[in-house]
């Protein structure tokens, strides 16, 4: 029997849970303890493997100190049209990047750089390294 792929919304909500948990430097075990769950269940929520129910999402939002709407920001859409025009795809790659430990660490360090010109030069350097530079 083939395994069912997680729903894109469940994956997005899970990645936002992970991102916020990591922003607070909270372990999966600590979040699991606060929810009276195992860290494995938290892992399944974060991967979108298991769907988070409404009451559980409210609980998570209280623990992570964000409104429930935070978990849906930038969520993928079903491709609905607005006024006859196809809706632009959400920048889910940003949320995916910020949900990684590297993305979060890079973002934290980058935002501590006060010099705007230096930040711009760093962006240019990374673009060159990635093969997108002039």
Q: What is the pLDDT of residues 10-24, one digit of tens each?
A: 998 998 999 899 888
Q: Which fold has domain 1-76+92-99?
A: 434 Repressor (Amino-terminal Domain) (1.10.260)
- pTM for this model (two decimals): 0.64
DSSP 8-state code for residue 69: G
Q: What is the pLDDT of residues 77-120, one digit of tens each?
A: 765 444 444 445 456 667 777 778 888 888 888 888 899 899 89
User: b or e along 34-68 (b: 16 or more beta carbons within 10 Å of the residue's beta carbon)?
Assistant: eeebeeebbebbbebbbebeeeebeebbebbebee
Q: Which two tokens stand for residue 134?
A: 């002039």
Arithmetic mean of pLDDT, 4-9: 84
Mean of the per-residue pLDDT values of the chain: 84
The answer on pLDDT for 28 being more than 90 is yes
First vs last C-alpha separation in the chain: 50
User: What's the Cα-to-Cα distance from 64 to each of 26, 47, 100, 115, rounded to whole Å?
Assistant: 9, 17, 17, 31
The CATH 1.10.260.40 portion of the chain extends over: 1-76+92-99
């Amino acid at each position: 029997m083939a395994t069912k792929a997680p729903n894109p919304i469940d994956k997005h909500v899970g990645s936002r849970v992970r991102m916020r948990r990591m922003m607070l430097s909270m372990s999966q075990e600590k979040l699991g303890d606060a929810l009276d769950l195992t860290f494995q269940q938290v892992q399944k929520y974060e991967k979108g493997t298991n769907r988070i129910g409404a009451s559980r999402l409210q609980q998570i939002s209280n623990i992570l100190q964000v409104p429930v709407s935070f978990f849906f920001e930038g969520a993928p859409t079903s491709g609905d049209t607005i006024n006859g025009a196809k809706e632009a795809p959400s920048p889910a790659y940003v949320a995916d990047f910020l949900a990684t430990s590297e993305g979060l660490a890079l973002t934290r360090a980058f935002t501590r750089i006060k010099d705007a010109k230096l930040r711009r030069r760093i962006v240019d350097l990374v673009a060159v390294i990635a093969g997108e530079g002039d």
